[in-house]
Structure 1
């Protein structure tokens, strides 16, 4: 690996040019999308032949506990990590000159570990490739900047702006609202540039201190890598200015939640033509099949799009979150929206995913539902032309029900992989059980003396 620096992206080369590289972070996205791995001196990384981590990192819950292994004994065998040099990126917030690199994960026989989230997404992209298709996605990232919160018993508050007042709600698209925490935004831009990431736009969302970053469309794995990196860089930018960045689906009571809207199109791998449009620019049957797949199979994918108990606090009426599986053209009340575009850019926007989801698994689950629709050739319900918030709720309302739907769906188990579904369920059941043991302030206030 002595020549590994010749394989890295130009942005990483530019970052270390004229400086001594001190450290390399070898990272793997776990089930929650948290970076797991190890850091080492750059000189050792260059000499290292193999890298290892135990397979138990995919059984660890968000609280740090360990789920039971559905496959049997908890022996924690090592997995083999292979650096993907196309992902090498700067860590511009560190004191030393540091690069980070995402690793792919294999078992000791050289097979991709089927429960690794990045491998799950690669598997779904591979299913498209087998049909001669190439999926394209464009994610939107919503998050809150909030005041530092070091006591979990205290409610989250909006951050203090440069005016000396806390960030105000109901200021969607306001440039003045963004300017209130402009220094954080400046650092986000600087970090993204150092890491070679292209930001399509930054805007103020409807919540107090809520920001949206749009990314340019592209390859699903590359975009999931960028979101994985972005979550870390945004947190680091916020910490520099005495506030937190949070990707919780619903961090502040009475405010809207944070989504990760995913735009999808599919192109013919040979011609590059968007299969959602024909030669005359009209919608194709494949376009409708993709929507039908989402309508039919998204209930079984919600556990991946809304992975925590908090996620379901976002699915409530009148808070700019979809609570249905209706589809419509340029209709933001529908869970599945068809934005205004030309024929080449025809796409479907899935508005169900929360920003708290693992980007690899959220994109994989969303693409899986569209893939099933393309293969099955079904047609969607009639387009919703009115207010879809008036429709019946069609989504699981809690994590337990969502897991039940996922496990009961044979098509989703097959397309995602039975082993992955079993491990994911084990991790999430463990988290749900832990949550149910916590007594909330609401229960103490209303039940302690009244029931």
Structure 2
């Protein structure tokens, strides 16, 4: 690996221009999307082609517990082999020395992919598109809040103080003045993104107090999932520089909108390079409707991945900027499945159900898997919703337990994502749900302590 610095992206080389690299962070996403790995001296990284971590990192809950997901061999914690993907090498510009981050792929000692590594799950779904001569293109949108520092879990989360010294205000969607309130944080986000070679399509103020949205340009699903994975860390680090927190919780503040990771999809025919959602004359194809039908049919079973925590379901509130059902419509933000205005060549389908708290690899994989199931089945969607979808009935799970019940029964979806991944994911999420049930909430203490 002595020549590895010649194989890193241009942005990483520019970051190091004239400087000596000190450290390399060898990272991989766990099930929640947390970066796990090792920080090693640059010299050691150059001498080694692979690194090791225990497979058990994928059995860990968000609270630090463990799901009994090791399988028949028992909890022996075998090592997996981490292979660096040099195309992901990027700066860590917030560190005190000159550091690069490199995402790694996880293999077993026999050379097969670790089936429950999130990046491998997404690659598995893409391989099944590839087998049909198709190439998906995605564009994720990232919503998040900038909030005041909160060191006490019993205290409610509050909006951050803006440049004016006043707390960020709600109901200021698309306000440039609101964006200017936390301009210093945004400046660092832009600077960090530039150092890392990421292209931001735009930053806007959303409807919540201190809520922002970053749009990324469309592209390869693995590359975009890598960027969201990197961006979450980048944004958190920018916020910490300015005495506030960035949070990607689906619903951090009561009575404020939740934060979504809307996923735009289109699909390219590899033999022609054309979008399969549009005909030569620009009209919609049967494949376009099959994809929508796949989302309508299978997304309820995938909600456990798109909304992975008990907090996630607080986002699905009628008339509160998040969908409550799986209606589809053209340029209709009340529907769960939206068809944005576009040219025929850029025709795409937007899944508005995914929360920003989902793992980007798994969220994109699950959404694409649902669409592929519709393409394979030649399914037809329900009639298009032309009005307010909030007037309709809810047809998505209302809690994590119900979502996991649907996921358990979704054989087609589990086959696409991988049976072993699905087994591990379900076990870990059920353990997290049990951990949540052991915590007594302020609501219970307020209303039940003396009244029941």
Q: Please indicate the TM-score interval, normalised by the length of the shorter structure.
A: over 0.9
User: Partner of 2:444: helix, strand, or coil?
Assistant: helix
**Residue equivalent to 2:42:** 42
**Residue equivalent to 2:32:** 32
**Offset of residue 49 of structure 1:** 3.3
Q: What CA deviation, in whole Å up to 9, does each residue of 1:216-260 have, x standing for no partner? A: 000000000000000000000000000000000000011000000
User: Partner of 1:311: helix, strand, or coil?
Assistant: helix
Q: Within 1, Cα distance between the matches of 2:43 and 2:445?
A: 56
User: Partner of 2:344: helix, strand, or coil?
Assistant: coil
**Residue equivalent to 1:85:** 86
Q: Within 1, Cα distance between the matches of 2:89 and 2:372?
A: 30
Q: Within 2, Cα distance between the matches of 1:67 and 1:33?
A: 16
Q: Within 1, Cα distance between the matches of 2:200 and 2:333?
A: 23
Asked whether the equivalents of residues 265 and 349 of structure 2 are also in contact (C-alpha less than 8 Å), the reply is yes
- In structure 1, stretches of 5+ residues that fail to align are none
User: Partner of 1:371: helix, strand, or coil?
Assistant: helix
**Residue equivalent to 2:10:** 10
**Residue equivalent to 2:264:** 263
**Residue equivalent to 2:212:** 211
Give the alignment of 1:338-377 within 5 angstroms: 338-377=339-378
Asked whether the equivalents of residues 70 and 422 of structure 1 are also in contact (C-alpha less than 8 Å), the reply is no
**Offset of residue 70 of structure 1:** 5.0
Q: Within 2, Cα distance between the matches of 1:85 and 1:250?
A: 35
Q: Within 2, Cα distance between the matches of 1:145 and 1:206?
A: 13
User: Partner of 1:102: helix, strand, or coil?
Assistant: strand
Q: What CA deviation, in whole Å up to 9, does each residue of 1:3-56 have, x standing for no partner? A: 001110000000001000000000010000000000010011001133100000
Asked whether the equivalents of residues 135 and 219 of structure 1 are also in contact (C-alpha less than 8 Å), the reply is yes
**Residue equivalent to 1:401:** 402
Q: What CA deviation, in whole Å up to 9, does each residue of 1:318-366 have, x standing for no partner? A: 2100000000000100000000001001000000000000000000000
Pairing 1:122–2:120 present: no
**Offset of residue 200 of structure 1:** 0.2
**Residue equivalent to 2:425:** 424
**Residue equivalent to 1:310:** 311
**Residue equivalent to 1:334:** 335
Q: What CA deviation, in whole Å up to 9, does each residue of 1:99-123 have, x standing for no partner? A: 0000000000000111100000000
Q: Within 2, Cα distance between the matches of 1:192 and 1:272?
A: 30
Asked whether the equivalents of residues 323 and 389 of structure 1 are also in contact (C-alpha less than 8 Å), the reply is yes
Q: Within 1, Cα distance between the matches of 2:273 and 2:239?
A: 40
User: Partner of 1:443: helix, strand, or coil?
Assistant: helix
Asked whether the equivalents of residues 327 and 336 of structure 1 are also in contact (C-alpha less than 8 Å), the reply is yes
**Residue equivalent to 1:297:** 298
Asked whether the equivalents of residues 81 and 103 of structure 1 are also in contact (C-alpha less than 8 Å), the reply is yes
Asked whether the equivalents of residues 9 and 88 of structure 2 are also in contact (C-alpha less than 8 Å), the reply is yes
User: Partner of 2:143: helix, strand, or coil?
Assistant: strand
Asked whether the equivalents of residues 56 and 70 of structure 2 are also in contact (C-alpha less than 8 Å), the reply is no
**Residue equivalent to 1:180:** 181
- In structure 2, stretches of 5+ residues that fail to align are none
Q: Aligned pair count?
A: 451
Q: What CA deviation, in whole Å up to 9, does each residue of 1:97-148 have, x standing for no partner? A: 0000000000000001111000000000111000000000000000000000
**Offset of residue 272 of structure 1:** 1.1
Q: Within 2, Cα distance between the matches of 1:225 and 1:336?
A: 24
Q: Within 1, Cα distance between the matches of 2:272 and 2:20?
A: 44
**Residue equivalent to 1:59:** 59
**Offset of residue 423 of structure 1:** 0.2
Q: Within 2, Cα distance between the matches of 1:294 and 1:406?
A: 14
**Residue equivalent to 2:68:** 68
**Offset of residue 71 of structure 1:** 1.1
Q: What CA deviation, in whole Å up to 9, does each residue of 1:385-434 have, x standing for no partner? A: 11100111111111011011011111111111110011001110010001
Asked whether the equivalents of residues 277 and 287 of structure 2 are also in contact (C-alpha less than 8 Å), the reply is yes
**Offset of residue 93 of structure 1:** 0.2
Q: Within 1, Cα distance between the matches of 2:153 and 2:69?
A: 30
Q: Within 1, Cα distance between the matches of 2:272 and 2:14?
A: 34
Q: Within 2, Cα distance between the matches of 1:443 and 1:51?
A: 47
Asked whether the equivalents of residues 294 and 370 of structure 1 are also in contact (C-alpha less than 8 Å), the reply is yes
User: Partner of 1:344: helix, strand, or coil?
Assistant: helix
TM-score, with normalisation over the residues of structure 2? Answer: 0.99
User: Partner of 2:142: helix, strand, or coil?
Assistant: strand
**Residue equivalent to 1:152:** 153
User: Partner of 1:301: helix, strand, or coil?
Assistant: helix
User: Partner of 1:105: helix, strand, or coil?
Assistant: strand
Q: Within 2, Cα distance between the matches of 1:257 and 1:323?
A: 13
